[in-house]
Amino acid sequence: MKSKKNRVFIFDTTLRDGEQAPGFSMNTDEKLRFAKQLEKLGVDIIEAGFPVASEGDFAAVQRIAGEIKKSQVAARARTRLRDIDRAWDAIKDAAFPRIHTFISTSDIHIKHMLKMTKSQVLKESCNAVRHACGFTGNVEFSAQDATRTDRKYLCEIVEAVIDAGATTVNIPDTVGYAMPDEFGELIAYLFDNVGNIKKAIISVHSHDDLGVAVATSISGLKAGARQVECTINGIGERAGNASLEEVVMALETRKDILGLHTNIRTKHIYHSSRLLTDITGVQVQPNKAIVGANAFAHEAGIHQDGLIKERMTYEIMTPETVGVSDTNIILGKHSGRHAIREHLKKMGFDLAREEVDTVFKRFKELADIKKEIFDEDIEAIIAEDIFRKPDKYKLLYLSVVSGNAAIPTATVQMEINGEVAQEAYFGVGPIDATFATIKKITGAEYTLVKYLVHAITEGTDAQGVVTVQLRYGERIVSGRGSDSDVLVASAKAYINALNRIESFQTRDDTK
């Protein structure tokens, strides 16, 4: 049974701290869409924005507050009373509103940025908390730059704001300066020296300037903090914030030593990450923990062999746990024979041992040339080296009439087992007309799964390469064709796929 005292509250600030980072700004509709995803994810507190910053930010926070029903909605405010009033106006209709007020407490910030005295900062902090408590009993106070604040003064201000009514007190490593052990010691120091500390939840908020934000946050949780402030994909000011997915999955995966838990529905983590990249257009790096493209991808032969035998050999969590469909075995020059054999089975090819050896040898030769091997490459190897027979179909002639005042019509002449056949047919476009005519000549009734075209070089005279995928039973069979005329390349690709299917049919019929 999960203990309440070991429950960690997840405070997501993607829409506030994260959105402040260059390139991550969102409009109101995008913010609302993302807030709803955070609610689905199970985030406890959504920091929706900084209402006093602009009319747009106010409108976004207000709209999120009106539509989010399960998560708390927090509005950011400086200790200025005008900020707090504006924050409350934005979130007053929320099901669970929170005012989050902050001020700097380090000597360097007080002297050079605020130009105040410590006593003035202390007084303003308490006044702000009391003012916020006049609107709601859910008030959070942040001591900005806490890790560079004099410890005795930090204890004094934490105790004072709790007495003033703060129910959550955040200890942020605003500039990402603290080391994990150092930060854990700071949180422990506060628990030992703040008399009323158990009347509030202590929160941690770490930045990743030195690459240790997640470790710092976890160290703070181990020392007694029970709220962690983080962002999806770790976005945020400068190098970003502690990554929500990394913190959550660290707690989930290492329950044995941390003994902490969250209410996050981890199966929605990957989709939350993808939604953020879709909205902002900023991709995560491939090697990003938990949600990167390579997080559950394996190319090394030893790793692949271990995974095939037992997934836990090289995966400390299953991809399904975070909403990724499956482990991705990357086929490259480091892949082993076992991985190739298993991948061939997934593709629908049950080959004899000597045939696998042949494919593996050709695969290794190709892998020395290409960085990554795709299913189409393996199909080509199998078609050429295992199932090779003379092509049944050959393209002899293609003519297509199309335009905005003409019905797209293709005339195709082919050779089928040495015999010439010719037909003309129409379609909804020139490609569709071409494929429909080929189907009419050959009698092929395979479903078109994918059609892709790209240019090898730049310019209007570039050579076009077309890939066509057809469904043959449980298999997806690919064909490729290239030509400076994309219509001819398309016809060649379709016919190439038909010839591969013929090879596979011959093999299947002899089993």
Inter-helix orientation angle 430-442/486-509, to 10°:
30
71 close to 91: Cβ distance less than 8 angstroms: no
Average pLDDT of span 232-239: 93
User: Of 198-212, 437-451, 458-472, 482-496, where does the model show the most confidence?
Assistant: 198-212
The answer on pLDDT for 302 being more than 50 is no
The CA distance from 153 to 486, in Å, is 72
The candidate with the shortest Cα–Cα distance to 11, out of 218, 227, 183, is 227
Q: What are phi and psi of 99, to 5 degrees?
A: -100, 130
Tell me the one-letter amino acid at 482. S
Which tokens sit at 324? 């990724």
Average pLDDT of span 165-194: 98
> Which alpha helices (H) appear in 389-464, and where do they start and end?
430-442
**Band of residue 301 on the pLDDT scale cut at 50, 70, 90:** very low
DSSP string, 56-68: HHHHHHHHHHHH-
pLDDT in the model for residue 383: 63
Chain segment 208-222, per-residue pLDDT in tens: 999 999 999 999 999
The answer on pLDDT for 322 being more than 50 is yes
Average pLDDT of span 427-450: 94
Q: Using a pLDDT cut of 90, give the percent of the chain over it.
A: 60
Task: Calculate the CA dihedral of residues 69, 74, 75, 77 and round it to 10 degrees.
Answer: 160
Distances (CA, A) of 276 to 271, 283, 369: 9, 9, 35
Whole-structure pTM value: 0.65
The CA distance from 63 to 185, in Å, is 40
DSSP string, 117-180: -HHHHHHHHHHHHHHHHTT-S-EEEEEETGGGS-HHHHHHHHHHHHHHT-SEEEEEETTS---H
Average pLDDT of span 330-357: 68
Tell me the one-letter amino acid at 22. P
**Domain 4-280 falls under CATH 3.40.50.300:** no
DSSP H or E run through 419: strand 419-426
**Band of residue 272 on the pLDDT scale cut at 50, 70, 90:** very high
Domain spanning 393-509: CATH superfamily: Alpha-isopropylmalate synthase LeuA, regulatory domain (3.30.160.270)
DSSP 284: P
Mean pLDDT rounded to a whole number for the chain: 86
How many CB atoms neighbour CB 286 within 10 A? Answer: 10
The residues spanned by each domain of the chain are 4-280, 297-385, 393-509
Average pLDDT of span 484-509: 83
The CA distance from 151 to 129, in Å, is 21
DSSP 197: G
The answer on pLDDT for 510 being more than 60 is no
